[in-house]
Amino acid sequence: MSLDGRYDSHNIFAKIIRGEIPSVKLFEDDRVLAFMDVFPQSRGHALVISKVSQARNLLEVEPEVLSELAAATQKVARAVVTALKPDGVVVTQFNGAPAGQTIFHLHFHVIPRYEGEALGRHGEGGMADVEALKALASQISEAL
């Protein structure tokens, strides 16, 4: 899919927002949702999405929504660092399929990095154990 197109209200993140698909949540308010990535690139990989925007990428998002997402992403990154004590943290966001975007609902990745541990490939790792994700989410949520 290119940078241009229509928002697909049946994408997995839209289904998560509507409660049609479960997620392991870190926090949620009326505008933002943060949850664990079920195909993590690293232990503690989290996602931050807007619940109110139908922007597919950074180029389409409303400025006020982008501001909310940036603040929420910073909040999650701080909590991940506090809770999991990684050696570093990557914050990333993809725009268009050639850039690596696989779900066309604007989202930010917060990916802890641990010295000596390889980073998994975006969207290509195996599905995480849900109980392990819940344990990590509990640690991170306590730091929020």
| Beta strand 107-113 pairing with 88-92 | antiparallel
Query: Which residues of the chain have a pLDDT value below 70?
Result: 1, 123
The whole domain housing 97 covers 12-142
User: Can you read off the two tokens belonging to residue 91?
Assistant: 């914050």
Q: Is residue 115 part of a domain?
A: yes
Q: Quick check: is 73 in a domain?
A: yes
Count of structural domains, the chain: 1
| Domain membership flag for residue 71 | yes
Of residues 10, 49, 9, the one with CA closest to residue 26: 49
**Domain annotation covers residue 1:** no
pLDDT confidence of residue 1:
54
| 3 falls within a domain | no
Please report the pLDDT score of residue 126 as a whole number.
78
Q: Which of 45, 107, 109, 122 is catalytic?
A: 107
* pLDDT tens digits, one per residue of 17-47: 999 999 999 999 999 999 999 999 999 999 9
The answer as to whether 135 is a domain residue is yes
Instruction: Output the pLDDT for position 123.
Output: 66
**7 found inside a domain:** no
* Phi, psi values for residue 141, rounded to 5°: -60, -35
pLDDT at 4: 86
pLDDT of residue 35: 98
pLDDT score at 2: 73
6 part of a folded domain:
no
Q: What is the pLDDT of residue 135?
A: 97
Q: What is the CATH number of the domain that holds 73?
A: 3.30.428.10
For this structure, is 45 an active site residue? no
